[in-house]
Structures are given as C-alpha cells and as structure tokens.
Amino acid sequence: MKKSTHQIGKENETKACNYLVKEGYTILDRNFQTRFGEIDIICSKESTIHVIEVKTLQTDWAESDITFLVNAFKQYKIKNVFTYYLATNNLITYDNIKFDVISVMNNKIKHYVGAF
C-alpha cells in the first residue's frame, strides 16, 4: 500500500527529530499548531532556540535556493506562529533564535541552520 504524502511527511519529521537529538538538540515541541499555521519542530541547543521547517524532497536541488523550500509567505507565517509560541511559553532563557530548514530526501538529511 502506497503511503500518503501526509504519512511520509510525518515520518520525515520523526527522522529529523531523531537526527536533532543525535546532534545534541533538545526537542521542545512538535507540530505546534495555531489557526495561523504550524511549526514542525521547536528545539534548543545551548542558549539557542531553533524553529525548524521540515521539507521532503523528491529530487535534489541547488543548496543556495532556500526560497524553493520555504518561500517568503511561509517564512512570514512561521515567524508569526513562533511569536505566538513565545507569548504562551516561558522561553526567556534563550539568547538566540534561529529559523532552520531540514530537508529529507530518501534517508539523506540536510540541516540548514539560520536558513531564514
């Protein structure tokens, strides 16, 4: 039976979380949803909080073209949802915030720290 796009996306978010934990990140939240949008993963490492969008790729792409993965409107939505997340959670202990993208193609993971 063929997996749905949604199932594949959720599996790849789990792969991304496993990768992050292995790299020393602490997962704070997954699939944080509001009526304005969703954040796939919110995690931390040292004094930095990372807001991560996970993208499943069917084909490889030019690494310099982050806008292909997360366009300006999606970036805007993620930042607005994260502003709400900050307002509802006590995260004042973090010095830095980075917006990252993790791409998953088959079992290959690429993490773009500070992508937008």
Q: What's the pLDDT tens digit per position in 23-53?
A: 999 999 999 999 989 999 999 999 899 999 9
What number is the average pLDDT over the span 76-82? 95
DSSP-assigned letters across all residues of 8-75: HHHHHHHHHHHHHHHTT-EEEEEEEEETTEEEEEEEEETTEEEEEEEEE-SS---TT-HHHHS-HHHH
Residue ranges and CATH numbers for the domains of the chain are: 5-112 (3.40.1350.10)
Looking at every residue in the chain, the average pLDDT score rounds to 89
Residue 64 pLDDT > 60, yes or no?
no
The radius of gyration computed from the CA coordinates of the chain, to the nearest angstrom, equals: 14
Residue 109 pLDDT > 90, yes or no?
yes
Dihedrals φ, ψ of 96, to 5°?
Answer: -130, 150
